[in-house]
Amino acid sequence: MSKKSKKKGKRQEASRNRRRKQASRRKQTSKHKRRPNTSSPGTVTKAGDLYQVHSQSELNSLLVSGKPTLVDFWAPWCQPCLRMAPTFEKMAASYGDRINFAKIDTQSSPQLGQRYGVRSIPTLIAFSERKETKREVGLMPEQKMRRLVESMLPEEEEETEEEEIRAGQEEEPEEQEQKPASPPKKQPPGFVKYIKRLFGGKKD
């Protein structure tokens, strides 16, 4: 074998090694970019009291659960979103057994923000029976968010609270009737003797 053919073979081998290394790097980069999906399609993951939603199928699984759903559209770079996050988590801890609280990162899931017409964040959207019932845009104080959450509670719970109030009002008259009557006032002895003297000698 000539020297030229040996050099040519070495160059070809080096070129193949470079291509293999480049292909290996591309695979590693693509693995880091893809978000690992450990849950089955349509199954939403829950972190603490909050659901983390990444797709429409995951959101649908909450909307058909039979409970109202409140969704927070946010992004990691949004400072108002980060300031409102503790309040949203507090509401989820207090009402999470009756309402679904979900968060959607519009940076990693922009298609969901576009689908629901979210143009500014933070945005809260309330759903009931798969339909949007209310929308609030911007940083919300705790009292305003609490009023929004309480307006989403099922009607049966509101009726129960009203019945308890009415029952308490009906019990008040009964307590008043059970109070003992005050004893009759006693007349002074001198007054009684005077009346007897006055009418005792009178004849019909």
**Per-domain boundaries in the chain:** 45-149
User: Could you confirm whether 168 is annotated as catalytic?
Assistant: no
Residue 39 in this model has a pLDDT that exceeds 50:
no
Of the two residues 61 and 176, the one the predictor is more confident about is 61
State yes or no: pLDDT of 130 exceeds 50: yes
Catalytic residue selected from 63, 71, 78, 145: 78
Q: Which CATH class is domain 45-149?
A: alpha beta
Q: Which of 44, 62, 81, 91 is catalytic?
A: 81
Contact 51, 88 (CB under 8 A): no
55-97 pLDDT, tens digit each: 999 999 999 999 999 999 999 999 999 999 999 999 999 999 9
Q: Map tokens 């309330």 to a residue.
A: 126
pTM of the predicted protein model: 0.57
Rounded-to-integer distance, Cα 123 and Cα 135, Å: 7
Annotation marks residue 81 as catalytic: yes
Main-chain dihedrals φ then ψ at residue 139, nearest 5 degrees: -65, 125
Q: Using N-to-C axis directions, what is the helix angle for 79-95 and 142-151, rounded to 10°? A: 50
Contacts of 95 (CB under 8 A, 6+ apart): 101, 149, 153
pLDDT on residue 20: 76
CA distance 57 to 37: 14
pLDDT digits (tens, 9 = 90+) for 133-153: 999 999 999 999 999 999 999
Using an 8 Å Cβ cutoff, are 90 and 142 in contact?
Answer: yes
